[in-house]
Amino acid sequence: MNITSTLCNELAVVALEGDVDLRCSPALRKELLERTFERRDIVVDLSGVGYIDSSGIAGLVEAYQGARDNGTRFLLAAPSEPVLRVLRLARLDRVFTIVDSVEPLAAASPGEPLS
């Protein structure tokens, strides 16, 4: 899995690419917690993810909780059908705010890389 974080219109866009499993979920968790700590609005671009397991979901849940405590926004964008199925199985599809695409949120911003 690759993680690319960019800042667009004050929104942290965390784009994931590849399978999210126990091997890389610690890196995802760390990245999301850092963005949460910066009190940024976050959108996780899941369009490049074909597989996610419970360890990856756990990282998303933790970031969601951090954002809730911060009063910032935490969005999931463009989950593929397999990812959506796991979210549904975990009954989290109604918990997360899920949008179809990152585009409208990040529009008209060239985006600057976040560390």
Partner 1 sequence: MIPPDPPGTIADGPSRHLDLIAEMMAAFARSQDVETTLRLALIRAVERLEAEAGSLFLLEPDGALRCRAAVGPVDVTGLRLAPGTGIVWRTIETNSPQRVADTGRDPDFAPRVDDATGFVTRSILCAPLAAGPERLGAIELFNKQGGAPFSDADLGLLQALAASAALAMINARLLAGLAEQEAMQRDLDLAAEIQRAMLPPPQGVDSPVHGLNRAARRVSGDFYEIVPLSDGRIAFAIGDVAGKGMKAALLMARTASLFRCLVKREDGPGRVLAAIEAELHETRLAGTFVTMIAGLLDPARGRVVLANAGHEPPVLVHQGRFVEITEGVPPLGIDPRLFDDGVPETVVDLDGGALYLFTDGLTEARGLVGGVMLGADGVLGLLAAFAAMDAAERLETVLHALGGAVSLEDDVTLMVVEDRLRPPVPAVQRLFPARPEALATIRAAVAETLAGLGASAEVAADCVLAVDEACQNIIRHAYKGGEGDIVLHVAREESDIVIRLMDFAPPVDPAKLVSRPLDEVRPGGLGTHLMRSVMDTVGFRPPPPGIGNLLEMVKRNGVP
What distance in Å separates the CA atoms of residue 32 and residue 43, rounded to the nearest whole number? 10
The least distance separating partner 1 from the CB of residue 54, rounded to whole angstroms, comes to 4
**17, 49 Cβ separation under 8 angstroms:** yes
The least distance separating partner 1 from the CB of residue 35, rounded to whole angstroms, comes to 16
**Tokens 């933790």 appear where?**
62
| DSSP label at residue 96 | S
The least distance separating partner 1 from the CB of residue 60, rounded to whole angstroms, comes to 8
The dihedral sign for the CA sequence 105, 40, 50, 91? negative
Q: Between residues 43 and 60, which has the closer beta carbon with respect to partner 1?
A: 60
Q: Between residues 21 and 41, which has the closer beta carbon with respect to partner 1?
A: 21
11-17 vs 41-48, strand pairing mode: parallel
* Residues making contact with partner 1 (CB under 8 A): 19, 21-23, 51, 53-55, 57-59, 61-62, 64-65, 82, 85-86, 89-92, 95
Q: Between residues 12 and 52, which has the closer beta carbon with respect to partner 1?
A: 52
